[in-house]
Structure 1
Amino acid sequence: MTKLKVAVIGCGSIAQHRHLPEYASNKNVQLVAVCDIVEARANEVAEKYGVKAFTDYKELVKSGEIDAVSVCSPNYLHAPISIEALSNGLHVLCEKPMATSQEEAEAMIQAAEKSGKKLMIAHNQRFVRSHQIARKLIENGEVGKIYSFRTAFGHPGPEGWSVDGKNSWFFEKDKAFIGAMGDLGVHKTDLLRYLLGEEIVEVGAFVETSSKEFADVDDTAVCVLKTESGTIGTLAASWSFTASEDNSTIIYGEKATLRLEDNPTYSLVAQYTNGEVVNYELGKIQSNDNGGQKNTHVIEEFVGAIVEDRDVPISGTEGMKSLAVILAALKSNDTKTIVRV
């Protein structure tokens, strides 16, 4: 079988920690090129993987040398690069948040439809074992009616993990468009939609900068969310959890409470109203901390969808629905009103 020829655009931390090593270890993939606006970085990564280096993404996507790309650029370039790649007949895996506006997201989806190529958004929380099992428990009625939920994603901030530290694009509004809410919050809006099997329809949010004085984006956000069936819960996203990472979700149901990634030993704890407790030991969630799972399953799902010509698990439309919640949260904070998604 001929291998899928892949390039990675943007050689920052997410590319170096996730996309590149996962492509390199995938038997169906031939890594062909990398691209970064910083020439020295592009060359260094290219040398490490024995591939070609580019500094201009347009030149790369028009080169005729590749079948698919990962878009790991700053957020404001997600849509332009993805659209350019799709328009040149390439499959696209785009990091989250997929775009900086509804219009951009729609343009990406249209470009994918027009080209007949696959567009997948890298929402990796759907591939975490505890989240998948919890979804099944909710789906098959074991939890009963969902009464409420709370989810949090927080860590000390990108300066500890971005290749550029405090000078990272993550902290610049014109490049990131949104801070912790876009970096972490969008993961959790996607997770809640996946777990609950329904859409979030109303958002009330406070979005602030409390710990990163040098940043011109938010570093802490707390949202109240309401689903289409009327369930309410909270979402917190923060770069100000300075001691350790929190990546937990709790679902409060009629028959059980599910605690996901809330216990250091058990990835999922199901506490039933009859007193029974089931502990699931599933290994640590993907994380930048030591011991976190190294394989996010995003790359294998993307490659598998292309090779087997099946639908990607997280389409552009799914990415847009998760983005819409974040955009509503920003609007809620700006207008001091509850916003319909």
Structure 2
Amino acid sequence: MEKIKCAVIGVGIFGEIHVHTYKTYERAELVKICDINEKRAKEISEKYNVRYTTDYKEIAEDEKIQAVSVATPDFAHKDIVVEMLKNNKNVLVEKPMATSTKDAEIMVKEAKKSGKILMTDFHNRFNPYFVQIKESFDKGEIGDISFIYSRLSDRIDVPLKWFNWSGKSGPHWFLFPHIVDLICWFSNSLPKKIFATGKKGILSSHGVNTYDSVTGILDFGKFYATVETSWIIPQSWPSIVDFYFKIEGSKGRLIVDFNEFICKISSDVKNELSFPFIAGYVPVDKKPIGFASLPIQHFIDCVYENRKPVISPEDGLNNVKIIEKIVESIEKENIVEY
């Protein structure tokens, strides 16, 4: 079987999942990886036995490569994605597609011009919990949506220890893409009005100039959705993620609460109690297990079979527009039209 030749640009925490998935998926052949941090690029290169470069243009110019994952920091997607599309590569970009509507529009325009796939990696659409409750929703088992409430927050060590670029993003750009996409996906609609508020102070005291927390109300007309996110869960909290999603319907309710579906580890050696968030990705027998690999495999399947992904370029663009409107509402201290 002829395989799709792939590359990954940005091999940090999540980029490595792309590397591992391509390396083990039967329809993919990982040709090259790229990261501007040569030490990290070399480490992943040796771990997965794949060539590396520190210049993404080498990947763009390699005519053998057909599909590229872009897993660079949130703010650093546009130039790389456009370069790949101009060089006839199909592109899977990590969420958010971009951190401005202008950048996202440029990317979508280039995708249409090239005729290549541009897919944003909204991997919770492949999460079995959400797949299951959406099946119930689509069958009409809870009636019409009355309101939706969702929160997705991270412990403070994510912005302070995981990345050196946190001040160029924030919980709104790093986490809202997941829950905003889920709300639009379930409802198959876009908001009409948005009101939001956000606070700064805790992270800025650590030198990270971004929002500690953001809350938004998205008015869809027939229903509304409240979304919450933060990057300041205390370091002592046992789980790195707080994720809750609820749809209240006219005839029922749907809830996914990741605080309930947990593994617990208590260690006197480490002097801590932890609840590892393991549902998305766990290496088992040298293979990636979990829903985080599924959209990557779906992307390759679409390239292989020459079909459109379930996530369109417009889905990624609309997601960016909504979050940018949330920021606009905070800054204007007023309701904004979508």
Q: Residue deviations 1:248-271, cap 9 Å, x none?
A: 1011111101111356259xxxxx
Q: Distance in 2 between matches of 1:220 and 1:287?
A: 26
Give the Å deviation of 1:293: 5.9
User: Which residue pairs with 2:63 in the alignment?
Assistant: 64
Q: Secondary structure at the match of 1:76?
A: coil
Residue identity in the other structure for 1:264: E
Deviations 1:88-144 (A, max 9, x none): 010100011101211211111111111111111001111112212222222222111
Question: Any unmatched runs of 5+ in structure 2?
Answer: 263-276, 283-287
* Count of equivalent residues: 313
3-state SS of 2:301 partner:
helix
Match of 1:12 in 2: 12
* Correspondence for 2:244 among 243, 248, 264: 248
Partner of 1:201: 192
Change (3 A) 1:265 1:78: closer
1:284 Cα deviation from its structure 2 partner: 6.9
* 3-state SS, counterpart of residue 214 of structure 2: strand
Matched, 1:188 2:179: yes
TM-superposition CA deviations, 1:68-101 (whole Å, max 9, x none) = 1100111222111000001001010001110121
Contact 1:33–1:52, Cα closer than 8 Å, also in 2 = yes
Whole-Å separation in 2 of the counterparts to 1:141 and 1:232: 18
> Mean alpha-carbon deviation: is it higher for 257-266 or for 76-85?
257-266
Q: What is the percent sequence identity of the aligned residues?
A: 30
Q: Is the 8 A contact 1:210 1:220 kept in 2?
A: no
CA contact (8 A) 1:205 1:330 kept: yes
Task: Output the TM-score relative to the length of structure 1.
Answer: 0.86
1:286 corresponds to which of 280, 287, 310? 280
Q: Report what 2:267 is aligned to.
A: none
* 1:201-240 correspondence runs (5 A): 201-212=192-203, 213-214=205-206, 215-227=208-220, 229-240=221-232
Q: Residues 322, 167 of structure 1: CA spacing in aligned structure 2 closer, same or farther, 3 A cutoff? A: closer
Structure 1 residue ranges without an equivalent (≥5): 267-282
Q: Does structure 1 residue 83 correspond to structure 2 residue 77? A: no
- Shift of the 262–35 alpha-carbon distance from structure 1 to 2, 3 Å rule, reads closer
Measured on the aligned residues, the alpha-carbon RMSD in Å equals 2.2
Residue 7 of structure 2 aligns to which amino acid in structure 1?
Answer: A
Q: In the alignment, residue 6 of structure 1 is paired with which amino acid?
A: C
* Alpha-carbon separation, structure 2, partners of 1:3 and 1:182: 34
CA 222–37 in structure 1, closer or farther in 2 if over 3 Å, else same: same
How many Å separate the matches in 2 of 1:73 and 1:219?
Answer: 22
Residue 167 of structure 1: how far off its partner (Å): 7.3
Q: Could you say which residue in structure 2 is the equivalent of 1:336?
A: 333
Residue 121 (structure 1) aligns with: 120
1:166-181 matches, cutoff 5 A: 166=161, 168-173=163-168, 178-181=169-172
For the residues of structure 2 that align with 1:112 and 1:44, how far apart are their CA atoms? 32
CA distance in 1, matches of 2:312, 2:202: 34
SS in 2 for 1:43: helix
Change (3 A) 1:34 1:185: same
Any conservation in 1 of the 2:127–2:291 contact (CA below 8 Å)? no
Deviation digits for residues 284-330 of structure 1 (CA, Å, limit 9, x no counterpart) = 74279xxx963411111111111111111112110111111100000
SS at match of 2:99: coil
